[in-house]
Amino acid sequence: MVHLQAARIGDRIAFRHKDETSGDWIPTTWKDFSAKVMKVAKAMAAFGIQEHDCIATYTQNKPEGLIVDFAAYGNRAVVTPLYATSSVSQIEYILTDCRAKLIFVGEQFQYDNAYEALRNTPTQKIVIFDSNVKLKPGDDDSIFLDEFMKEGQDDATDTLVRQRMEDAKFTDLANLIYTSGTTGEPKGVMLVHSNFIAAIRSHRDRLSFRDDDSSMCFLPLAHIFERAWSYFCLAKAIRLEINLRPQEVQKSLRETNPSIMCAVPRFWEKVYTAIMDKRERSGKMIQKMMDSAFEVGRKYNIEYVYEGKKAPFLLSLRYKFYDKMVLSKIRLVAGLSNANFFPCAGAALSRNINEFMHSIGVNIVYGYGLTETTATVCCFPRFGYDYATMGEVMPGTAVRIGENNEILVKGDGVMVGYYNKPEETERAFTEDGYFRTGDAGGLTLDDCVFMTERIKDLFKTSNGKYIAPQALETRIGEDPYIEQIAVIGDQRKFVSALIVPDYGLLKEYADKNKIAYTDMKDLVSKPEIYDFIMKRIEEKQSNFASFEHVKRFTIMPEPFSMENGELTNTLKIRRMAINQRYKDLIEAMYAR
């Protein structure tokens, strides 16, 4: 694909990345992309990478990551992408399981971990992207990418790589993507090239694009959502803006003004919270103006534009006024001034936030998918959204509802199985070839999918009532003062929760209300803070049945983290780990 694009549009920009020293966004043309891919591919061949061998990438989002991907594919090799935040034990397990011969690392953190892990794995060499990395004393084996690329630059390796590309098959294994897993050990999802081709075709048929579209590459490329989406953008020749530091994405958005970006719901929750916080800090007149803009935007966009209908003249006039005075300025500050649409998946997105973003002119294309389905199973169509669903089933994909309301999926995007786990693979499929997603939900008459809960997450109280914790967490998590929440209640007499607040907002509330405290641990223990959060929780869960309500909670002085094993790499909570780590706190809530 890369070389065909280079032959067709060689001088156009394939992607840009930010130089951290100058702050400039550096472009790479398709011609240069193709040339670098061939250099790395030949270096891999010279090193001894054979067809179907595995290499690993362990890096933040960098241009070099994409170059290595396509260089590996040029050798018919398999890429195993690791999250840049992965620990030594995590990468040891994965490198050993997939038997990666090479590992390409991004910066000092990844190099240090990889160096420590290599002694216990079959991996033979570390190739480093960042030239500023300091090698460990005595490390004479690791090599920087610039030096690695000098290997094998001769006619023999060139011929070998080109022959391998000629011999490539749709059924060749492309990626082993290890699921982060909320329980159990990671599983290597086997995705072949035809899985990605199916995903590219279905998105091309479903979505509408502009000639000037560009996409922010923000989620980790180790995540199937960003990986499949970025490959799709490259296939469509949509320029990628590669964001290196996740915490700097808002700045990157303002600097590059992309029209497209895939993101998880947590990103939009933070955008929503920031807008609502801005409103609360404004004077009464500004608040009234913003509320009017939101209401007019809701009517104009949701009732007309996103239904494919022409809005009445007076409503259009009012929308133009409020868009100019309020909504466009909100989008500008958020870096969304050039918005076309924004794919969103990976977890449950609050309907309230979804509708709000559409109201202000941010077209979120909400969807649902898994690593095992090469991302998207369904997503919102161009017009006629049903906000109670996750969108319409993608072209070329079949969905049906099985036992326990489990969502079952079949299609060319579905994986071929789990690596080295034949029993797990067999359990993952029905007898007639449908993949068991592990998610409970349903299918509307319009072929739209809705999800009620992760089947494994469902729990039953000691009173025999079933609770869907994600539904509660999504609704309560809309509150700006609540950053993270873990709902608890399996075999308990009532529902409780561990709550991580927005510490900055909580401090402001305490200062404003003259609540004295020494540190955060002291502040979250204050009865006034408990009552304040309780009132906000009660407002959010008012539409739930009484037996579903959070009756007691504990406010945490520190957030859940990946480092402590409480969150997955995609920021989903690990219920088993949280229940185990905080069992004393949990027991205390039920002992009162």
Q: Confirm whether 194 is domain-assigned.
A: no
Decide if pLDDT at 462 tops 90: no
Is 213:185 a contact under the CB 8 Å cutoff? no
Hey, which bits of 384-445 come out as E strands? Answer: 392-393, 397-401, 406-411, 417-418, 435-443
Q: Confirm whether 523 is domain-assigned.
A: yes
Per-residue buried b or exposed e for 48-76, using 16+ beta carbons within 10 Å of the residue's own CB: ebeeebbbbbbbbbbbbbbbbbbbbbbbb
For residues 576 and 580, what is the distance between their CA atoms, to the nearest angstrom? Answer: 6
Q: Are 20 and 147 in the same domain?
A: yes
Decide if pLDDT at 129 tops 90: yes
Q: Are 393 and 539 in the same domain?
A: no
The average pLDDT across 360-368 equals 96
pLDDT tens for residues 223-239? 999 999 999 999 999 99
The one-letter code for the residue type at 445 is L
Place of tokens 């007898």: 431
The average pLDDT across 3-23 equals 97
User: Which pLDDT score, from 0 to 100, does residue 465 have?
Assistant: 76
The DSSP result for 443-498, as a single string, is E-TTSBEEEEEEGGG-EE-TTS-EE-HHHHHHHHTTSTTEEEEEEE-TTSSSEEEE
Q: Confirm whether 188 is domain-assigned.
A: no
| CATH number where 489 lies | 3.30.300.30
pLDDT tens for residues 43-62? 999 999 999 999 999 999 99
Q: Are 104 and 225 in the same domain?
A: yes
User: Which pLDDT score, from 0 to 100, does residue 518 have?
Assistant: 95
Nearest to 30 by CA among 1, 56, 9, 53: 9
Q: Are 286 and 417 in the same domain?
A: yes
Enclosing domain of residue 89? 2-168+211-255
Q: Are 227 and 115 in the same domain?
A: yes
Q: Are 402 and 280 in the same domain?
A: yes
Q: Are 265 and 239 in the same domain?
A: no
Q: Which of 500 and 186 is assigned the larger pLDDT?
A: 500
User: Which pLDDT score, from 0 to 100, does residue 346 have?
Assistant: 87
| CATH number where 308 lies | 3.40.50.12780
Q: Are 238 and 298 in the same domain?
A: no
Where is the domain boundary, 426, 454, 482? 454
Q: Confirm whether 293 is domain-assigned.
A: yes
* CB neighbourhood size of 153 (10 A): 13
Q: Which two tokens stand for residue 360?
A: 């202000």
User: Which pLDDT score, from 0 to 100, does residue 568 have?
Assistant: 79
Of the pLDDT bands very low, low, confident and very high (cuts 50, 70, 90), residue 181 is low
Decide if pLDDT at 262 tops 90: yes
Is 479:447 a contact under the CB 8 Å cutoff? no
User: Which pLDDT score, from 0 to 100, does residue 186 have?
Assistant: 85
Q: Are 241 and 287 in the same domain?
A: no
Q: Are 77 and 116 in the same domain?
A: yes
For residues 158 and 69, what is the distance between their CA atoms, to the nearest angstrom? Answer: 18
pTM over 0.85: yes
Q: Are 506 and 361 in the same domain?
A: no
Torsion of CA 447, 448, 452, 453, to 10 degrees: 90
Is 585:560 a contact under the CB 8 Å cutoff? no
How many domains, in total, are found in the chain?
3
Q: Confirm whether 190 is domain-assigned.
A: no
Q: Confirm whether 305 is domain-assigned.
A: yes
The average pLDDT across 287-293 equals 97
Q: Are 366 and 435 in the same domain?
A: yes
**Number of C-alpha atoms within 13 angstroms, CB side, residue 24?**
4
Where is the domain boundary, 454, 481, 496? 454
Q: Confirm whether 179 is domain-assigned.
A: no
pLDDT tens for residues 63-94? 999 999 999 999 999 999 999 988 899 899 99
Where is the domain boundary, 435, 454, 473? 454
User: Which pLDDT score, from 0 to 100, does residue 524 have?
Assistant: 95
Q: Confirm whether 175 is domain-assigned.
A: no
Of the pLDDT bands very low, low, confident and very high (cuts 50, 70, 90), residue 464 is confident
